[in-house]
């Protein structure tokens, strides 16, 4: 990134113009909401489906706006662009549906845009970084292997559940080595978008199935916790087993996790690993929480209603660390699925790219 722009971004000058792809969906709305008062970025373009194209963002979204804050007035009046329309902003945040994200994101990258995507399509591509800045910021080097020119590129963040798991596991993996992990999820309805989960399926109920989710958690975790070498990422080799469930919660994915470690740990040392995990401290990234992981001491935490919004929804909260009779340790982890698990994750990925002067 040219130093002038960087100065602007991180100082008090003009904000960097950005666009949002798939701006009318649940995650697209979160991008628009989170970027409203972002000190570095300013939404100047929104793209959505052909049905929305040509209308103002407020008209296009109509009654589908499902957040508790109002549509930002500056974005409300933007005219929605259609799929493939030329865009001005170099940085694009993508909340595109997987059915179209694959090609569209590549197309924009070819045109010189840096696409920070929440879509699943390119996450497991060996040349595409799948990054949580606190965990594997160095994987951003994969950008150098990408074929795009003129500053184009493609960066992804993990699935909304994986992000919580990988965050909670990373400090443990570094300190003790993980040998195996079993994760049972309690996932919020907002993770399925809108209209998403029919109310008759989830009111007073649990649905023990989310299509494709278990495979994503199992493979993405291994990539994120892998090591980057000259030829790419060597995935972590420990097996992950996921058992996914939808529960009647609006926001916040909760997880019950059991682990076997490679080396001996104690409760105190694991807690220390979590609490000492502050790799982005002092970088001044607007979306990075002071404490990315907080370990609660109360016996009944974390809980979605009380903990999902911590640190503006960017904090992961863990708790109930105790021995597991079958593996070695078990605990709970929680994160906000549409902020830390989606839009906020993609924004933080660009923040770290700016800070590391990769864009």
- Establish if 306 lies at the interface with a copy of itself (CB under 8 A): yes
* Residue 307 preceded by cis peptide, ω within 30: no
CA distance 146 to 109: 10
| The binder of a copy of itself chosen from 101, 168, 181, 224 (CB under 8 A) | 181
Choose one: 128-136, 166-174, 261-269, 316-324; the region binding a copy of itself (CB under 8 A): 316-324
User: b or e along 281-294 (b: 16 or more beta carbons within 10 Å of the residue's beta carbon)?
Assistant: eeeebbbbbebbbb
Q: Spell out, one character per residue from 91 to 120, where the chain touches a copy of itself: x when CB under 8 A holds, - when not.
A: ------------------------------
Q: What residues pair up with 258 in beta bridges, in sequence order? A: 182, 330
* Residue 53 preceded by cis peptide, ω within 30: no
Choose one: 13-21, 131-139, 148-156, 299-307; the region binding a copy of itself (CB under 8 A): 299-307
Q: Of residues 120-139, which lie at the interface with a copy of itself (CB under 8 A)?
A: none
Catalytic residue among 122, 139, 160, 173: 160
- Establish if 297 lies at the interface with a copy of itself (CB under 8 A): no
| The binder of a copy of itself chosen from 115, 240, 339, 342 (CB under 8 A) | 240
At its nearest, how many Å lie between a copy of itself and the CB of residue 310? 8
| The binder of a copy of itself chosen from 38, 44, 120, 194 (CB under 8 A) | 194
Give 8 or 76: the residue with its C-beta nearer to a copy of itself.
76
Q: Spell out, one character per residue from 15 to 34, where the chain touches a copy of itself: x when CB under 8 A holds, - when not.
A: -----------x--------
In terms of phi and psi (left: phi > 0; alpha: psi -120 to 50; beta: otherwise), the region of 134 is alpha
Q: Name the pairing type of β-strands 316-323 and 293-295.
A: parallel
Q: How many residues bind a copy of itself (CB under 8 A)?
A: 64
Q: Are 161 and 306 in contact, with CB atoms under 8 Å apart?
A: no
Cα three-residue angle 102-17-95, rounded to 5 degrees: 30
Alpha carbon separation from 267 to 37, 172, 176, 321 (Å, rounded): 40, 11, 12, 7
> Is residue 244 annotated as a catalytic residue, yes or no?
no
At its nearest, how many Å lie between a copy of itself and the CB of residue 159? 16
- Establish if 68 lies at the interface with a copy of itself (CB under 8 A): yes
CA distance 229 to 232: 5
The 8-class DSSP code of residue 311 comes to G
> Is residue 253 annotated as a catalytic residue, yes or no?
yes
At its nearest, how many Å lie between a copy of itself and the CB of residue 69? 8
Q: What is the DSSP string of 132-178?
A: -HHHHGGGGGGGGGS---TT-EEEE---HHHHHHHHHHHHHHHHH-E
At its nearest, how many Å lie between a copy of itself and the CB of residue 193? 8
Q: Are 261 and 178 in contact, with CB atoms under 8 Å apart?
A: yes
Binding site residues, a copy of itself, CB under 8 A: 26, 63, 66-70, 180-182, 184, 186, 189-190, 194-209, 218, 239-241, 243, 245, 247-250, 254, 256, 258, 298-310, 319-320, 324-327, 330, 332
* Active site residues per annotation: 160, 253
């Amino acid at each position: 990134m040219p130093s002038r722009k960087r100065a602007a971004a991180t100082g008090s000058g003009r904000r960097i113009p950005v666009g949002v792809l798939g701006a009318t969906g649940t995650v697209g709305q979160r991008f628009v909401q989170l970027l409203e008062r972002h000190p570095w970025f300013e939404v100047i373009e929104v793209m959505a489906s052909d049905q929305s194209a040509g209308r103002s963002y407020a008209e296009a979204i109509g009654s589908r706006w499902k957040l508790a804050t109002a549509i930002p007035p500056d974005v409300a009046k933007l005219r929605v662009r259609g799929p493939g329309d030329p865009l001005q902003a170099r940085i694009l945040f993508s909340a595109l549906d997987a059915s179209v994200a694959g090609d569209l994101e590549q197309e924009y990258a070819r045109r010189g845009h840096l696409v920070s995507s929440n879509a699943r399509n390119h996450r497991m591509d060996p040349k595409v970084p799948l990054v949580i800045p606190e965990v594997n910021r160095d994987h951003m080097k994969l950008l150098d292997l990408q074929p795009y020119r003129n500053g184009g590129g493609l960066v992804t963040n993990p699935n909304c559940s994986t992000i919580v798991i990988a965050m909670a596991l990373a400090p443990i993996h570094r300190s003790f080595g993980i040998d195996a992990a079993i994760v049972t999820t309690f996932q919020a309805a907002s993770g399925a978008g809108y209209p998403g989960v029919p109310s008759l399926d989830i009111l007073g109920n649990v649905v023990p199935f989310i299509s494709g989710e278990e495979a994503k958690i199992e493979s993405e975790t291994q990539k994120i916790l892998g090591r980057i070498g000259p030829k790419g990422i060597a995935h972590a080799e420990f097996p992950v087993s996921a058992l996914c469930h939808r529960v009647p919660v609006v926001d916040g994915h909760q997880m019950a996790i059991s682990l076997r470690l490679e080396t001996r740990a104690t409760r105190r040392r694991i807690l220390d690993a979590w609490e000492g995990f502050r790799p982005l401290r002092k970088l001044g990234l607007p979306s990075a929480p002071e404490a990315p992981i907080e370990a609660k001491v109360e016996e009944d935490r974390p809980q979605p209603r009380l903990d999902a919004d911590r640190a503006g929804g960017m904090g992961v909260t863990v708790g109930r660390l105790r021995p597991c009779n079958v593996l070695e340790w078990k605990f709970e982890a929680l994160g906000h699925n549409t902020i830390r698990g989606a839009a906020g994750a993609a924004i933080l990925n660009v923040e770290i790219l700016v800070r590391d002067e990769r864009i």
